[in-house]
């Protein structure tokens, strides 16, 4: 048995206390620690990059198949009447159905695996992401204009303009506002803005942000993190694929920058609620500006 240590001399000083530790609340006050990637994905989460690729293929193949069905089989104008919102939203809904199925049957649900959750603070965070995204997109657009690149226009905006202004027909070579062709124009105002175009605007500001954020900032982002990549790498790669999938070469840099901002919101909070809000504000204001200019 060892002898007890000698008593401390009365004139010796006590050992210094350990240095204080400070938690960096600025980096964690918005982050939800109860869901990945702050906590590991559960063992039952069997989804991955293959599921993200399948979701994208579903969207592409359905878009092409539906367009061929409307134009070739039905022999209708895809911008006339209800065909415009149908061809826009049906591929998105099928993509959403696969993402939901993947979360339920191959994972632990949309909330845990893909961050589909909202908190009150997400309204303010979403507004902040919107401002940052618009400023960043404006800088990129200005740089493209200085480089002599043609100002980019959204493909959906161009289709909406075609639907409002009218398209060539066999009678006189052009459909004028006010003509009666399956409700494609408004006889009261002659503006060409119909209820179906309003439906497209509503879908673009509500359903589309939810579906795209679940697909890219939810499933794809999570699949990259599960593969061992850093969150920042997941933000960059999901934004790059998000921009490429739109198939709008002139707008790819702008879409990529907006994707970075929305992905930053996902990394900042561990959920996609704020990103959905920012995405919805961007789409809504874009359509309000477009329809106001066309009316």
pLDDT in tens, 88-144: 999 999 999 999 999 999 999 999 999 999 999 999 999 999 999 999 999 999 999
Percent of the chain whose predicted confidence (pLDDT) is above 70:
81
Q: d(Cα 119, Cα 45) in Å, to the nearest integer?
A: 24
From the DSSP assignment, how many helices (H) and strands (E) are in the chain? 11, 0
Higher pLDDT, 81 or 50: 50
Give the C-alpha distances (Å, rounded to integers) separating 196 from 163, 169, 182, 192. Answer: 10, 20, 11, 11
> 31 pLDDT exceeds 60?
yes
Among 112, 121, 140, 157, CA closest to 28 = 121
Q: d(Cα 215, Cα 53) in Å, to the nearest integer?
A: 10
Average of per-residue pLDDT across 223-252: 93
247-280, pLDDT tens digit by residue? 888 889 999 999 999 999 999 999 999 999 999 9
Average of per-residue pLDDT across 80-86: 89
Q: What is the pLDDT of residue 185?
A: 44
> 171 pLDDT exceeds 90?
no
Q: What is the pLDDT of residue 107?
A: 93
Q: What is the pLDDT of residue 180?
A: 46
Q: What is the pLDDT of residue 167?
A: 55
> 26 pLDDT exceeds 50?
no
- Domain ranges in the chain are 34-166+179-294
- pTM of the full structure: 0.81
Identify the helix (H) or strand (E) that includes residue 268.
helix 252-269
Token pair of 52, please?
A: 């993200």
């Amino acid at each position: 048995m060892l002898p007890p240590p000698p008593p401390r001399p009365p004139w010796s000083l006590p050992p210094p206390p350990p240095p204080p530790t400070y938690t960096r609340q600025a980096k964690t006050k918005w982050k939800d620690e109860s869901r990945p990637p702050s906590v590991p994905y559960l063992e039952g989460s069997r989804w991955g990059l293959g599921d993200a690729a399948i979701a994208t293929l579903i969207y592409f193949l359905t878009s092409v198949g539906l367009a061929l069905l409307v134009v070739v089989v039905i022999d209708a104008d895809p911008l006339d009447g209800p065909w415009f919102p149908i061809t826009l939203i049906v591929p998105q809904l099928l993509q959403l159905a696969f993402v939901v199925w993947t979360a339920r049957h191959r994972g632990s649900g949309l909330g845990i695996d893909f961050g589909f959750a909202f908190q009150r603070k997400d309204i303010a965070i979403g507004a902040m992401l919107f401002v940052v995204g618009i400023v960043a997109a404006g800088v990129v657009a200005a740089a493209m204009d200085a480089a002599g690149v043609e100002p980019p226009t959204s493909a959906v905006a161009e289709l909406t303009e075609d639907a409002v202004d009218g398209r060539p027909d066999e009678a006189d070579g052009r459909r004028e506002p006010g003509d009666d062709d399956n409700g494609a124009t408004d006889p009261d105002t002659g503006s060409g803005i119909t209820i179906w175009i309003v439906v497209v605007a509503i879908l673009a500001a509500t359903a589309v942000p939810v579906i795209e954020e679940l697909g890219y900032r939810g499933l794809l982002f999570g699949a990259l993190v599960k593969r061992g990549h850093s969150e920042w790498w997941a933000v960059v790669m999901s934004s790059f694929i998000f921009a490429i999938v739109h198939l709008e070469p002139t707008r790819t840099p702008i879409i990529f920058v907006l994707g970075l901002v929305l992905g930053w919101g996902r990394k900042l909070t561990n959920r996609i609620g704020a990103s959905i809000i920012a995405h919805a504000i961007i789409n809504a204001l874009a359509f309000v500006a477009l329809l106001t200019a066309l009316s």
